[in-house]
Chains A and B, each alone.
Chain A
Amino acid sequence: MTDIDQRVAAVLDRLEPATEHKPDWEEVLRRVSVAREREAGGAALTRRLPLHALGRKAAFAIVLAALIVALVAVLPGTIGRHRMTLVDRAIAAIGNGPTTHVVLDQGVGTRLVDFRTGRTTLVQMRIEYWSDPKLGTLRISTLDGKPLQTILIPPSQNAVLSDWWRPLVTGYGAQLRNGAYRLVGAGTIEGQAIDWIASKPQTFTDANSGAPHEYVREIAISRTTYKPVYWRMRVDGVVQPDSGVRVIVAETLPRRPALFAHRRPFTGGYAVTPTAPRTTLARARAEMNPDPVVPPKRLAGLLRTWVGLPRYLAPGNSYRDQIGGVELYYGHTDDLGVPTYTGSFISITEFPHLNPAVTAQGVRVFPQDAAIVNNASATMKTHGLYVVIKAGNGDEALAAARALAR
């Protein structure tokens, strides 16, 4: 250490002397309670908290009461002497069984782009869920009706389910009954008259940037069947392009243990980390076989700002033995130089091998010399690599896929 380093160290010691405060765990727990109470009371959070973590139970009773008052005035209809609200009807439509059966169509606008022929065809990507709080969730994914993957997710691994629509699969009926949703408007979905119900806004802090975001889940309820027909997420008031799913089936049924029997529980798991270590193209080339495919430094008007290891991890992995591959990121970064994945951006993650961390995320089809392109994502196999593309919109995702296919 040089003299100046010692001097800096000495001054740093003086500038910020060790605190005399004692740890106060009770105060931490009190703040947890306060945060949950604030959520229950509907007050704006002065301390932003993660989306999923915000307490809901206490809020439900209050919101339910408010909903009943608000909706009765809006929605006519009676059962006996009581006026039925939209939420009442939605509760009745979903049923009260212990097993939730949901079929989601992710294929709203999903297309197969064949780079050899130039043809683009619409494809139907569906995921069917059978969810039982005690037995787990059976997930069956299909492409144009052909089963691709069937896995049983144990109740303890619900995090494997997509964050977007996990509540629809695991707790929609309960949330309706608890008053978690309110009527926010009307409209049409594919010509069908619907009413939009929305969850209470929830705020969370982005782990990377520290920026607060507000999440609202929105469900289109059919005015004919009172069943959910579309599910989407709105973040900071903007509908997320890759969050929308058409709800083909949503019902609750009696327990069906036979469905879950003789299924091997899914153990692969995966996690997506907010950040992964930075790497270099030279290192990626040295470590990957085949070599990474590297589009130009500027792609779809966006500059490449990050080269890192994939953010995809199997549970328990450390950064040291992170799944092989590389992520090329184009777009905005935060003040630490870390991708923000907001606005216009393109994230290309290339894997030399398929692994559960990749395939576990819903339907994952990797067509050769073609790409499955969704609203804001794409998957493909090119130059021997399995590629997952996430982007700000479908055009950016397609631009990335085209660049990789060359």
Chain B
Amino acid sequence: MTDHTAASVAELEALYRERFAAFARVAAAISGDEQSGVDAVQDAFANAILSLADYRGDAPLEAWVWRIVLNAAHGLRRRWVPGPDVPSDCGNGRPDEDHEVRAWIAALPQRQRLAVFLRYYADLDYRSIAHALGIEVGTVSATLNAAHAALRRSHLEAHT
């Protein structure tokens, strides 16, 4: 590994161990199942090690890794397609409601969906979401608001 990088493999390992659950959860939400999510995280960190020279400290290490994880998860994406092919028994409870909300989330524009995942599953603050998605902090707020508004609309349409 070159010595001019802004972060070390040890820092990556520390981040991996500390935030594995959050990475895996978001990746699973994007890729479609838990195993694919874990697979994406493993691939992403391997990729991060191999491309560590590209990280130059211009953003937090975690934000940089999030970007790689999101890309890896997209590569393995299988689910989150709205429509009848979504199995109704996915999730751990209330299948009909889960199915319904899943379809609403799947119908969100990608940026909104990713922002929701990063907010709910990874508990990232707005700044970290902005770094991970390469957008402004103010845009994160607007994106999440738009996602919530869309979900509210879907809920109203489905239940009125």
Interface, chain A (partner B; CB < 8 A):
2, 4-5, 7-9, 11-19, 21-25, 27-29, 31-32, 35, 47, 49-50, 52-54, 156-159, 204-205, 207-208, 210, 271, 273-279, 313, 315-319, 335-338
B136 touches A277 (CB 8 A): yes
Query: Whole-angstrom distance between the alpha carbons of A11 and B121 in the complex?
Result: 12
Query: Whole-angstrom distance between the alpha carbons of A318 and B4 in the complex?
Result: 18
Known: A9-B120, A50-B51, A53-B51. A157 touches B45 (CB 8 A): no
Query: Whole-angstrom distance between the alpha carbons of A210 and B75 in the complex?
Result: 8
**Which residues from chain B contact A205 at a C-beta distance below 8 Å?**
47, 71
A158 touches B155 (CB 8 A): no
**Which residues from chain A contact B151 at a C-beta distance below 8 Å?**
4-5, 8
A14 touches B21 (CB 8 A): no
For the complex of A and B, 6 pairs with smallest distance between CB atoms: A275-B134, A53-B50, A50-B51, A31-B46, A210-B71, A271-B56
A313 touches B56 (CB 8 A): yes
B152 touches A4 (CB 8 A): yes
Residue of A nearest to B130 (CB): A277
**Which residues from chain B contact A29 at a C-beta distance below 8 Å?**
46, 49
Known: A17-B92, A18-B25, A31-B42. A25 touches B58 (CB 8 A): no
B54 touches A49 (CB 8 A): no
B68 touches A207 (CB 8 A): yes
Interface, chain B (partner A; CB < 8 A):
2-4, 6, 13, 16-17, 20-21, 24-25, 28-29, 34, 37-38, 42-43, 45-47, 49-54, 56-60, 67-68, 71, 74-75, 90-94, 97-98, 101-102, 105, 110-111, 114, 116, 120-121, 130-131, 133-137, 139, 148, 151-152, 155
Interface of B is mostly: helix
**Which residues from chain A contact B110 at a C-beta distance below 8 Å?**
335-336
A49 touches B135 (CB 8 A): no
**Which residues from chain B contact A156 at a C-beta distance below 8 Å?**
3-4
Which of A2, A11, A52 touches B101 (beta carbons < 8 Å)?
Answer: A11
Query: Whole-angstrom distance between the alpha carbons of A135 and B110 in the complex?
Result: 48
20 contacts between A and B (CB under 8 A): A4-B148, A4-B151, A4-B155, A11-B101, A16-B121, A18-B21, A19-B37, A23-B17, A25-B17, A27-B42, A28-B42, A28-B49, A52-B51, A52-B54, A53-B49, A159-B53, A271-B57, A271-B58, A275-B134, A338-B134
